[in-house]
Amino acid sequence: MRVVLCEKPSQAADVAKVIGATNRGQGCFTGPGLAVTYCIGHLMENAAPEDYGDRYKKWSLEDLPIIPSEWKMKAKPKTQSQLKTVKALLDKAKELVIATDPDREGELIAWEVIEHCGYKGPTLRMHLSALNQAAIKKAWANLRPASETINQYYSALARGRGDWLVGMNMSRLFTLLGAQAGYQGVLSIGRVQTPTLRIVVDRDRTIENFVAKPYWDLSVTLSHNKATFTAKWLPASAMDEQGRCSSEQAARQAEAAVLNTGVARVSAVATERVVEAAPLPFSLGDLQQACSAKLGLGAQQTLDIAQSLYETHKATTYPRADNGYLDESMHSEVPQIFAAMVRTDPSVATLVGRLDPQVKSRAWNSAKVTAHHGIIPTIEPANIERMSEREASVYRLIRAHFLAQFLPAHEYDKTIVQLTIADQEFKASGRLQQVVGWKAVMTDQGAKANEEAAGQEEAGQSSAQVLPDLVEGDRPKVIAAAGEKMMTTPPKHMTEGDLIKAMKGAAKLVSDPRLKQKLRDTVGIGTEATRAGIIETLLERGFIVKKGRTLRATDAAFTLIDSAPEALTNPGMTAVWEQALTMVEEGTMGLDDFVSRQSTWITQMVTKYSSTKMSFKLEPSPPCPVCQGQMRRRPGKTGPFWSCMTYPDCNGTISIEQKSKKSVSKRKPNRKAAAAS
């Protein structure tokens, strides 16, 4: 029997339908000599420290570093029944086809199960970049030896073991150091989590240390052929590093001279046609940024809604897309997608009727599609009335970006006019729309483009003004001049969308050219699938808090970032790891070599930082209701709680909400959760 191993149930259903496994079984689909089964993501996970010995149940500096001599994996409790199904099928298999996502993580999901089940037979690889019939048929007809991509598995295994070494050891180390300073919580550290936290800490620190400085602005209103427009002053002296006037006297003198002269002279006029292509369909990160800015949604909220649109409503495609490009083989399905959108929401019928489904935008590029194509509406109609208000809003955003692919480019003329008034230079900017193009569909859908239109406000001047016809030598009259004292402003606190963007663009935070390029190649720190979870983890563990739509670092976060090794707070660490992981994937570095190097490095880090002194603004803790000893604040599934410092010897806990009632609970906190991802 040939067994096909997919990553998710929905993926297995799509593949099974195409290759002839039409009978639904328990955890699988079957057909003549064929079975298609699935993993529900990871069915296996790394063993926890306590699985390597009872001594590790209690956290102790003397037991660090923890470095397994033989690495253990264990089945995830919630999906053990599916693992049994997969094992039963693999026990009967004469040939296995791996059909998980064609990336490092997909290889790991498949091979960790294969190794656990002890399957040793022939193994092939099916490369799926899309889940439409044409793409599945093509992939099924072009199976390749699994040996061609197995190094991706070793690379993923190396990353997982390296992350375990960092998370388990450094989290325990700094939690214990924090406890010595009286801190009541878990201080988790992770290769992705910690540099992400530093991004928020650095922004907050920049805002906290910002010193406002004055500068002076001068705006002039002019008239020409009965039309008025404004121009901004370009100071020639007394400028700060941003080119703004830092001298009130210079600004007042310029204002007086302009009013006294009363006439400007046009010294140059330049007009260019700006052509804006439609924004690509959404990747998950771009969708999270857009939903944060337009709808005020958090990263995890957006992911949950996108998952619901995909799984529950069948309205949009797989949400964890890492780019917005589309497979060219899917273009033939556009008329079906259009029809499904109209049936989903009849209000778009007129709009869709104006579009040409034969148009191919830059989004249709198979070469740029990676594990998943951009998020778009499906060929199956849904019912928008059954969606929540937020689900419908996110669906409309996704729909608008797809429909934009079938409209012309947005075009406008941008004009820059240089003027001289009393030996002072001024600039007026204007724009005149020529072709609405794809922006019409964004307006129709109540959504704006992801990127702001070119010609944004410059030095406070609206780029939306339409300038009169001007040519060099014209002499418009000065109607008014208004000088104004301004103050520099600090950057804004980050929203979740801003943080997602910063994680994707982490290359900007690194100075080393090689590391900068590596971060660009890997699209920053974290992945589309993990970034929302990282932010949620930071929130749950009390390192960041929400204030309105913005994120703020807590005192504990500042202390942790200041105390932790620079190598673990700098995004460049991820780039260094990616270089080594690429070497593992290419076969130029072995898995054992990578893990050995990480083990040596962790040992050095533990030795170097084990005597670190930390200082916190402490929240007073209540006495343990069982032994009257000191308690520590910990994160929990239902919220933070106090746990006895002597756990597991004493299991006393107090809910934060019930602190005043001194309620006692015997449940044991999840110590393993302290490890960072």
Catalytic residues: 318
Residue found under tokens 């590029």: 365
Can you read off the two tokens belonging to residue 628? 């009257």
Query: What is the radius of gyration, based on Cα positions, of the chain?
Result: 30
Going by C-alpha positions, the residue among 316, 285, 304, 237 that lies closest to residue 10 is 316
Quick check: helix, strand or coil at residue 80?
helix
Q: Give per-residue burial for 390-401: e unless 16+ CB within 10 Å, then b.
A: bbbbbbbbbbbb
Q: Return the H-helix or E-strand segment holding 602.
A: helix 591-609
Q: How many CA atoms lie within 13 A of 396 on its CB side?
A: 23
Alpha helices in 280-347 (DSSP H): 284-295, 299-311, 334-344
Residue found under tokens 């934009």: 404
Q: Report the Cα 241 to chain-centroid distance in Å.
A: 32
Cα separation, 107 vs 230, in Å, equals 60
Can you read off the two tokens belonging to residue 428? 């007026």
Looking at this protein, which amino acid is placed at residue 282? F
Q: How far is CA 525 from CA 206, 532, 578, in A?
A: 22, 12, 10
Cα separation, 326 vs 363, in Å, equals 6
Going by C-alpha positions, the residue among 362, 344, 334, 346 that lies closest to residue 438 is 362
Strand duo 144-145 + 123-125: pairing = antiparallel
Sequence-distant (6+) residues with CB within 8 A of 226 are none
Cα separation, 592 vs 534, in Å, equals 28
Quick check: helix, strand or coil at residue 427?
strand
Cα separation, 402 vs 21, in Å, equals 32
Cα separation, 393 vs 379, in Å, equals 19
Quick check: helix, strand or coil at residue 173?
helix
Give the sheet arrangement for strand 214-224, strand by strand. Answer: 265-276, 410-421, 424-435, 227-234, 214-224, 477-487
Backbone angles phi, psi at 118, to 5 degrees: 75, 20
Q: Report the Cα 165 to chain-centroid distance in Å.
A: 24
User: What DSSP assignment string belongs to 11-55?
Assistant: HHHHHHHHHT--EEETTEEEETTEEEEE-SS-SEEEPPGGGG-GG
